[in-house]
Amino acid sequence: MSSKSSSVCLYLLLLLLVSGTRTAVSHWIVKTLPGFPGELPFKLETGYISVGEGEFFYYFVESEGNPRADPLLLYINGGPGCSALNGFLYQIASPRSDPRQTLIPLKLPKNPSPAWLGAVMAETRRVREEGNWVCLEDANVKVGEFVGRAKEEVSKGRGELERFWTELLPEFVSWNRWERWKLVVSVHTSTDKDSSYEGPLKFNIADYTGGLPTLIYEPNTWTKTANVLFLDAPVGGGFSYATISEAWSASDTKVAAQAYEFLRNWLIEHSDFMNNPVYLGSDSYQGVVTPILAQDIINGNEAGIEPQVNIKGLSLGCPHTNSVLEDNTRVIFAHRMGLISDAMYKSAKTSCNGNYIDSTNANCTEAVASISQCIEQVNEADILGPNCAFISPKPKEGAQGFLNENSRDFILPWSRNGDFWCKNFDYILFDIWINYKSVQGALHVRPGTVKEVFRCNITLTSEYSYNVKDAIPYHKNLTNSGLQILVFSGDHDMSVTHIAVEQWINSLDLTIDTEWRPWFVDGQVAGYTRKYTNSGYRLTYATIKGAGHSPTEYKRKECYDMFHRWIHYYPL
């Protein structure tokens, strides 16, 4: 039998094995999505792949270039437990929410008079009569019980505009007697209520019918130059689910092993992409899992496991690697950024001897406490942004607590009058949009397999087994692999600081191929870069100027240009 015939028989055998599993592999082409006008301008496929007792949901977007030749990027979001749609909608893929709005700060008197209430009611009615929408958002997302009760009124169909102004607002003003929180009026400038951008809090105005967040095309998408396979992992993230209770457990090494099996099964089902160069992409906490996955793939290839995965490299955004290293460098970062004084930093440095975590030295503990108090109101994800409250309950405290994706402070959009406001809308829009039955139907989600879906699953995060405390040894092993690595950091991210990332890269003892220099987009400095080598292994490190945690959410054009140059072997 010829080698070609053997290869065909082996492929057919693999396909039969996968097809004969408990739940057959199934996938669908999605041509339209609720909230997006017309057909999608790219090819989107969704589906499930069985891995053990888990059913893993994915979104596959074909490259807008040459799908059969362009790289295949397997992308897993951080968290752990954040939906793959987070990357699809916010970070590297095509559609995004459509924020057509004007934000107006509302000055609340301590004792709102009937005349004041009447004037505001008249103005909001006028705006509505012009075909626009009026919502009220809380600029700090901290109205607690007030917001909860308002949502309850909306769900019961009694949240009328007049009730808000005459009952709930005065109650809020009384509760907010120290004037710590602020409210914002959001005027949505759309004559079609079904296509308007929806805020995080919607009151049941007289003719309220529900409305769906709209989507618009994002031109700076990585799918222009690569096929991107977004995976909901681990089980419990997004639409991935398990058929038995034991399969809901997750850990760093287990997620890596499941992702490897998922990728092999997906390639068997999509044989046209079997020979495409494969890259692994991730951000934040998945920075721990991705190098483990890469090592699993290399080991599997060497062991002759079929199908062989044509792995070529990794793309890691603000990657979590070692929590002790990251926590320690936050003190250095705060000093470099002018958030703490020279005296505070010198005191901590002298007392703690470089170890600011869990010190038994009383002087060190006191110095670190002073620093913590000084920076506790700074947005860790983006020190330039306002410190908005959590949109969901805070996760249990722990080494990974501050890295939890669902507790990220929100990035900032421009309002029409040029003011900055906390961007709480987009993340809440996600939860609104994804829980529409029409959306889940369009995505071909299996009915009844998940209940309410969130951008990030906090329950999963708190129950996850963080069994790899230090991913640096995995990176060290990969330096002999011949892979191409991209590591990038937002230079205003205090969660996973660029200092920590640079320190673990330096610990790999690589040869500097290209010294530290600026890199440019449209003639402007987009960040700084340095390139390292070790025989065939190449690591490109880049900072993204002005970006916070998950830089692709802040600087999409810069990140697209960076990725495009890197994956096609051009210098940044």
List residues with catalytic annotation. Answer: 284, 493, 549
519: buried, middle or exposed (CB in 10 Å: 19+, 13-18, 0-12)? buried
| DSSP H/E element including 105 | strand 101-106
Q: Map tokens 């490259």 to a residue.
A: 63
**541 vs 504: CA distance, rounded Å:** 12
**95 vs 97: CA distance, rounded Å:** 7
**510 vs 535: CA distance, rounded Å:** 10
User: Looking at 247-392, which runs of residues are DSSP E strands?
Assistant: 278-283, 311-317
DSSP state letter for 175: H
**294 vs 277: CA distance, rounded Å:** 13
From residue 552, give the alpha-carbon distance in Å to each of 40, 85, 410. Answer: 22, 14, 13
Q: Which two tokens stand for residue 381?
A: 């994800």
DSSP state letter for 24: -
Do residues 307 and 268 lie in contact, with contact meaning Cβ atoms separated by under 8 Å? yes
**140 vs 391: CA distance, rounded Å:** 10
Q: Which two tokens stand for residue 250?
A: 């997750």
From residue 60, give the alpha-carbon distance in Å to each of 2, 126, 268, 435. Answer: 34, 45, 15, 20
Q: Which two tokens stand for residue 545?
A: 């100027």
10 Å Cβ neighbour count for 8? 12
Backbone angles phi, psi at 183, to 5 degrees: -110, 155
Residues in contact with 27: Cβ distance below 8 Å, sequence separation at least 6, in sequence order:
45, 46, 47, 48, 60, 269
Residues of 28-67 as b/e, b for ≥16 C-beta within 10 angstroms?
eebeebbbbeeebebbbbbbbbbbbbbbbbbbbbbbbeeb
10 Å Cβ neighbour count for 268? 20
244: buried, middle or exposed (CB in 10 Å: 19+, 13-18, 0-12)? exposed
Do residues 435 and 490 lie in contact, with contact meaning Cβ atoms separated by under 8 Å? no
